Amino acid sequence: MKISNPVQTAMAAALLFSSCLLMNACTKNLADNTLSQQATDAAKRAAVLTGAVTDSSLIAYKKSPHEIYAGFYRFQGPCYGAAPNGSNFSQVPDSLDVLILFCFSPSSPIADSVPRWINALHAKGTKVIVTGNLDLAPGAPDNTTGYATTAKRIMDSIVNRYGFDGYDIDIESNPSGTELTRMAGVYSALSKYLGPKSGTGKLLTFDTNQSGSNSLFKKVYTMVDYVWLQAYGRGASTLQSTWNTFAPYIKSTQFIPGFSFYEERGYPGNVWYDVTYPVNGTGRAFDYARWEPSGGKKGGVFSYAIDRDAPLTSSTDNTLYTPTYIVSKMLIRIMNP
């Protein structure tokens, strides 16, 4: 796919704006503002995508309208060993918008480094959130008081303690009865601190392999910033039908389909083949980046196991790689040319 030169885009927008003023061909209040914003946004993208990157340009880019790229980084301990790209997750691509720590625990041997690495990403405008659950805090009653206690414990012991920018809930079932009541209760209690209803700017997200008919989602969708759809192993042609189930509840820009990089010891039973080798811009991951829902724009794309973004020597090779985040960088460019 040919990528437009972002510098030329910025120049063209600026020239068009100048011509508009000279020729009086545009109305003062509408077209001038529109073209000026286009030039500004194009310049922000140009600075990031051409390598003229400073922290201020990265922050400006991430605040501008664009399709985001997010990545789940599997943290060292208790679930995983050191990642191929290293344990220091602050080394992810500068233009990553949201990093999601997966299987994080304060008991990890490197947990004390997390605030420092988060601060390094904050300097670039990257948000860092953490995946967790909605289990009641130890000793908390299964009622409104217990839900509030649980939410405060999550905030105090995880989110605020380490400096995270939000909390991600992994939902891979369709709860009912008392379980549904409890989960919705804790999610609602969290929305006081996180998500669009909180006013804090911190994220509350819904990470799922379910559809928009999920029982919990239908109770909490007004409290959700993004839906991370685990679309691993699926063709991009299936995304529209899944989006249709979420469309009555959220904006298309809140809907973010995701693919998976290969996992350790994955072959042959746990390899999704969403990224094929050699890396040449083809495969499901790239199809997702190019896909758009009918009548709108998606929020972006996420990757699971971004810690294993590397060009392998074959689709089944779990050991030979050169860590470069090559796929992630290509996807960002495809979505924001």
Catalytic residues: 172
The Cα–Cα gap between 164 and 166 comes to: 6
Contact indicator for 16, 26 with CB cutoff of 8 Å:
no
How many CB atoms neighbour CB 328 within 10 A? 22
The Cα–Cα gap between 215 and 279 comes to: 39
Which amino acid would we find at residue 309?
D
Contact indicator for 193, 170 with CB cutoff of 8 Å:
no
Question: Residue length, the chain?
Answer: 337
What is each CA distance from 238 to 28, 69, 211, 235, 287, in whole angstroms?
44, 20, 12, 6, 11
Which strand (E) or helix (H) includes residue 257? Answer: strand 255-260
Contact indicator for 99, 71 with CB cutoff of 8 Å:
yes
Is residue 266 classed exposed, middle or buried when 0-12, 13-18 and 19+ CB atoms within 10 A define those classes? middle
Backbone angles phi, psi at 198, to 5 degrees: -80, -30
Q: Which of 333, 303, 309 is nearest to 46 (CA)?
A: 333
The Cα–Cα gap between 50 and 48 comes to: 6
The Cα–Cα gap between 329 and 326 comes to: 5
The Cα–Cα gap between 253 and 269 comes to: 33
Q: Is 65 left (phi over 0), alpha (psi -120 to 50) or beta?
A: beta
